Amino acid sequence: MEEQTNKQRIVRQSEDDPIKRISARYERNALWVVMGLTLAILLGLNVARDTRGATPLVITAVYFLIVVKGHAAWWRHSTRKDPTRQAMILLTEGVVRLVISAAVFTVLAFWAKGEGLVLVSTAIFCGYFVALLIFDVIFITRNEIYKKE
């Protein structure tokens, strides 16, 4: 009986923690965006009967899965430290994401140049980047609106 009470207490604590709840919701929704894009592009590659784009797609999808997990963890950690500096946290994270994305894109482009897939790799990577950027803006805006209410 005591063990069940402890489990219920742990669940209740995580539900009461708004930082953890928002972070989990961001992570879940962003993963759906990444997986939806991946499936849509895979379908497009299948319809076009072009399997050469599968490798850049996998590399890009894995990179953006890591970015989503990292963003959620960084936001959760930074917000717990100082919840009053949300704008600075998000701006810093955006700049770091842009710089790392530029480095990963450069490596991907150099690899794709040898394979003759520069346009495919560029389109896939930029599509993911723009989709997650739009998702982030919408998610952050909605959270700010809810916070003001």
Please name which of 123, 136, 139, 127 lies closest in space to residue 97, comparing C-alpha atoms: 136
The H or E element that residue 96 is part of is: helix 86-115
What would the two tokens of residue 59 be? Answer: 């590399």
Task: State the pLDDT at residue 68.
Answer: 92
Please name which of 106, 138, 112, 142 lies closest in space to residue 33, comparing C-alpha atoms: 138
Exposed (0-12), middle (13-18) or buried (19+): which is 10, by Cβ within 10 Å?
exposed
Exposed (0-12), middle (13-18) or buried (19+): which is 20, by Cβ within 10 Å?
middle
The per-residue pLDDT string of the chain (149 residues; one tens digit each, 9 = 90 and over) reads: 556 565 555 555 556 788 888 888 999 999 999 999 999 999 988 898 877 888 888 999 999 999 999 988 888 888 888 877 777 888 888 888 899 999 999 888 888 887 778 888 888 999 999 999 999 889 888 876 656 55
Exposed (0-12), middle (13-18) or buried (19+): which is 128, by Cβ within 10 Å?
buried
